[in-house]
Structure 1
Amino acid sequence: MDHNSQPQEITTLVGREVYTNNGVYLGEVEDLRLDLDAESVTGLALHELNRELFREESASARGVIVPYRWVQAVGDVVIVNDIAERIQRSKTDEDEEEVTA
């Protein structure tokens, strides 16, 4: 990290697009989850979700919360590790197993 750079307000994250490190679009940051006691960001609340990955969540909820520990980089966009894709793939695999069983 560049220790000489000016700190930015956390609100600058709002509106940024979120992608996995594989380039898959997840959604857009709508809000932040904070731990006020620890004075840290604990999650990113996403909306405008990728409907292919978040089919159920898009239909039944307003968005999803991505744990901030998944964030790998913040710039013009936010990059998170591919765990979100893996979770959605495992859900799909479970659904397919139920259908074929």
Structure 2
Amino acid sequence: MRTQITELFGLAIYTEKSVFVGEVEDVLIDVDSKKMESLVVGKLNQELVDIKNYKGLKIPFRIIRAIGDIVLIRHLPGAFKSGNFDEV
């Protein structure tokens, strides 16, 4: 997958099971290896977390499945608030 970093900002992030996670706010890059490390999520879906005023989340590059009109990530059961979004 190859794209310009600036094209990622503002893209919606969804899991493979169609759960909205948030929007790309920033991109963390490992300068030494010249690779993307993770995406920083802004406008986080507040239904995913128990912590009040929780505003950010980092999505590691290894769980990104595809980048196009949206960012598609692997669905990780149990990664968010228990009982939510694990079943479809």
Taking structure 2 as the reference length, the TM-score comes to 0.84
C-alpha contact (below 8 Å) 2:44/2:55 kept by paired residues: no
In 2: Cα distance, 1:53 partner to 1:69 partner = 20
Higher helix share: 1
**Mind listing any 5+ residue stretches in structure 2 that lack a counterpart?**
84-88
C-alpha contact (below 8 Å) 2:14/2:20 kept by paired residues: yes
C-alpha contact (below 8 Å) 2:22/2:44 kept by paired residues: yes
User: What secondary structure does 1:86 align onto?
Assistant: coil
Please tell me whether residue 65 in structure 1 is matched to residue 58 in structure 2. Answer: yes
| Count of matched residue positions in the alignment of Structure 1 and Structure 2 | 83
User: 1:37-83, CA deviations, whole angstroms, 9 ceiling, x for partnerless residues?
Assistant: 00000100001111110231x51x43111111110011100000001
Q: Which has the higher contact order (CA 8 A, sep 6+)?
A: 2
Q: Percent identity?
A: 33
Structure 2 counterpart of 1:88, which letter?
F
Structure of higher CA gyration radius = 1
Taking structure 1 as the reference length, the TM-score comes to 0.74
CA RMSD of aligned residues (A): 1.8
Higher strand share: 2
